[in-house]
A and B are shown apart, each in its own frame.
Chain A
């Protein structure tokens, strides 16, 4: 059974940094394109970052470009999202998501809450 477990969320002041982790079991994360999708309070789903299955391509939403970095540690089967220069509008639940080989998002973690507030 595929499981994705996020960690690293919490309360951080504006301008601060956090690193989210997503530990995978039942799959090899490096075999798949992986996303970070967030849901801000009262808002819809937004893909903020993605990394290709070969790790040679990355995507960032304009709103996080230059501030967030997605990466993988294949030896730990873990996906990361390094977030810096955090803003109040980054407050959201962040989900780690696996892309099915045919394209749709087929497995989601439970999510981790990031709150950016002074």
Chain B
């Protein structure tokens, strides 16, 4: 199974500042045939289902604010939240859909 390791496990960021979350895959998840990285990012708030933020490592889902951005390729990926807002307090997960079983990182808790 592909293991996704996120860092840090938690971080505290001031309002308006930047949050950076890393996700490292135990295997390359870049598919050479289409040059796409099979990685997504989700935001998860208590009492709600996870919300898709990013797919193909860097493509923002419709309706997601542009302060959220994804980058990276191969085995190393980053989710960046610019100008953190109070409503961004949540746990963030990376998710690989390259090969089954589809796996998630352990989550990173973002606090103010």
Contact = CB atoms under 8 A, between A and B. Distances in A.
Interface string B94-108: 010110111111110
B94 to A, nearest CB: 10
A44 B104 contact: yes
A24 interface: no
Nearest to B54: A104
Interface in B73-112: 91, 93, 95, 97-98, 100-107
Nearest to A102: B55
Interface in B47-82: 48-50, 52, 55-56
A104 to B, nearest CB: 4
Contact of A95 (B38, B49, B95, B101): B49
A50 B105 contact: no
B23 interface: no
B102 A106 contact: no
B19 interface: no
B39 to A, nearest CB: 9
B contact face: mostly helix, strand, loop, or mixed: loop
B21 interface: no
B52 A47 contact: no
Contacts of B100: 50, 59
Contacts, number: 57
B101 A111 contact: no
A45 B49 contact: no
Interface residues of A, number: 21
Contact of B50 (A50, A102, A103, A108): A108
A100 B62 CA distance: 14
26 contacts: A44-B91, A44-B106, A44-B107, A45-B44, A45-B95, A45-B104, A47-B101, A47-B102, A47-B103, A50-B100, A95-B50, A99-B102, A102-B55, A103-B98, A103-B102, A104-B95, A105-B40, A105-B42, A105-B50, A105-B95, A105-B102, A108-B49, A108-B50, A109-B49, A110-B49, A111-B49
